[in-house]
Structure 1
Amino acid sequence: MTLSSSLLNAFAPTGTLRASINLGNPILAHRISTGISTGTDSGEPGGVSVDIARELASRLGVPVAFTSFDRAAESVEAVTNENADIGFFAIDPLRGAGIAFTAPYVLIEGCYLVRDASPLTRNEDVDREGNRIMVGKGSAYDLFLTREIKHAQIVRTESSQAVVEAFVRDNLEVAAGVKQQLESDAARTSGLRLLDGRFMVIQQAMGLPKRRGDEAARHLREFVEDVKRSGFVADALARHGIKGASVAPAA
């Protein structure tokens, strides 16, 4: 399929598809270790979202470059301000002000973590006076809970990866985040448990700056539907050993 010059320019005005990658969601992206001890990990990003970005660049016939962020809010800002051409985000109305979203390509569970001794046993018990919920600042959970929580207090830490550590350190009542991240962190810290079920389903989608126009937004939506339908997303989840996330249904 031959793409118009206007469409290519909308996606890659610099000649390279610049992809914003959120490392704060370990289900979809991570940093590949270089194996070199330098004090910082300077490895390239890897994961499901990186695979999808490479596939889009291949279909557009342009190279791809990645900019990685530890927080979702920073990744959103990069795309909104057109410092990146595409990104991978949980769909949220607030983020939609400057970003044109596709339908979701992956669904992920958001869960609560408490101490073993906590009296909390159900998700419905969390939103009560006196409970403090630790979340990653600017994450999908932060945005969702900010709208939904009426009685409990939301406390924010710098990133999703730091939630459990901050929750334990500050002796809070609840931590909120990606189920797999909470499970992994809890496995390294005794005396913690997840509440049964989920408090939200995160709809992970692709997005590009709204200023890039309707043609580009439509093409990106069609691309996402194709990689879901073809099995590309399912294969990427399997290849990276991801459990607890599922391919979103067709739009």
Structure 2
Amino acid sequence: MRASINLGNPILANQDPSTGEPRGVSVDLARALAERLDVELELVVFDAAGKSVQAVADQKADIGFFAIDPVRGRDIAFTPAYVHIEGAYLVAEASPLRENGEVDRPGTRVVVGKGSAYDLYLTRELKHAELVRAPTSPAVVDTFLEQGMDVAAGVKQQLEADAQRAGGLRLLPGRFMVIQQAMGLPKARGETAARFLSAFVEEMKASGFVADALERHGIQGASVAPAA
């Protein structure tokens, strides 16, 4: 079983600093599913959500871990969400912006990771601000700084870490969206496979597996999604 793993979202997966191997909630779920099916697991690792999505849509991977989005849903069958993640805005300390509702104004340039859930959502929702796409979500803040942009958008925890690293930055209070993170598989695999995967996710939530994985990996700011 080939599992598409996105290292661009540190809440779900990252690299072990000592071994370089992928680890995280999504990796744990992939291993649990492989054990349930009694098959070997191959992790297909990407640095951006868009690439991870495309691998499953093209059937170069059997399952993946994505934010639920109608654009992605053309080719991918999603399970119910297993984790909810907050999306936030980051600005310079000197920025006049103080609230999330002030971002969508003419002349405001917002950096997002290309193909990320934030890119897809803000493409639909922003009517006046301009979107600028960084190659990956982890590159958003560096792009924001290098190009002198107005706002960086992404995973709240990633932005917090980048703000501490760079200095002179602050998050706008609250959140502009909640990401529903789910598992997915190619729609071509059929409804039976999709129902099986959905039932697996619900079981992993109900059993405490997802909550334990979040705690084990020290993840803050994400919560187990309620039962579907």
CA displacement at 1:33 relative to structure 2: 3.3
Q: Does 1:192 align with 2:169?
A: yes
Correspondence list, 1:136-147, <5 A? 136-147=113-124
Asked whether 1:33 is paired with 2:17, we answer: yes
- Normalising by structure 1, we get a TM-score of 0.90
Find the aligned partners of 2:187 and 2:158 in 1 and give their Cα distance: 31
How many Å apart are 1:44 and its aligned residue?
Answer: 2.1
Local SS of the residue matching 2:166 = coil
Q: What secondary structure is seen at the aligned counterpart in 1 of 2:81?
A: coil
1:111 maps to which residue?
88
Q: Does 1:79 align with 2:56?
A: yes
1:56 aligns with 2:37: no
1:130 counterpart (90, 94, 107)? 107
Partner residue of 1:239?
A: 216
SS of match in other structure, 1:57:
helix
1:55-111 Cα deviation digits (max 9, x unpaired): 001011111110100010100010011100000000000000000000100000000
Residue type of the alignment partner of 2:147: D
Distance in 2 between the 1:54 and 1:235 partners? Answer: 15
Matched letter for residue 110 of structure 2: I
Residue matched to 1:158: 135
Higher-Rg member (1/2): 1
Q: What are structure 2's unaligned runs of at least 5 residues?
A: none
1:203 maps to which residue? 180
How many Å separate the matches in 1 of 2:2 and 2:18? Answer: 22
Q: Deviations over 1:123-172 (max 9, x none)?
A: 00000001000000000000000000000000001000000011011111
Q: TM-score, structure 2 length as denominator?
A: 0.99
The number of equivalent residue pairs is: 228
Letter in 2 for 1:97: R
The gaps in structure 1 that reach 5 residues or longer are 1-16, 36-42
